[in-house]
Amino acid sequence: MKCVLSRSYQKNQTIGSLIAFDGEKRIYSCKTIELPWLNNQHNISCIPEGIYEVIRIIHPAKGKCFSVQNVPDREGILIHKGNYINGTKIDSKGCILPGLAFMDVNDDGFIDVCDSTIALNNLLSLLPESFKLIII
């Protein structure tokens, strides 16, 4: 299995579409939101494009989620639930937040993802213990 994350870089965030494939068959898709691209700087940037191994983990703070392995000059990058990248509440310091749609969840003027828990649970139920993530 593999997932392809296609990104659109914006000033304040990076939005994307994550598609899971079993061979050539598309089995699931959802939206993603990440920090903007700021040259892979810790805690303020999304991670570089590339091909990564991803493993399922139970994180002490985030619970069941996925860990993106071998990110250049970064560690602790996860795919976990969360809605916000901008504003007064931020749920990521470089991680990938899945959701079912884009919307301004908390009316602060910034795009968020909604139904992140549902999207993450769908990924957890469909994806194996490890898979490839291709970020373009």
- pLDDT tens digits, one per residue of 34-90: 999 999 999 999 999 999 999 999 999 999 999 999 999 999 999 999 999 998 889
Question: What is the domain range of residue 8?
Answer: 2-135
- pLDDT tens digits, one per residue of 100-124: 999 999 998 899 999 999 999 999 9
Question: With 0-12 CB in 10 A as exposed, 13-18 as middle and 19+ as buried, what is 36?
Answer: middle
Number of domains in the chain: 1
pTM higher than 0.95: yes
- pLDDT tens digits, one per residue of 35-49: 999 999 999 999 999
- Cβ atoms of 36 and 12 within 8 Å: the answer is yes
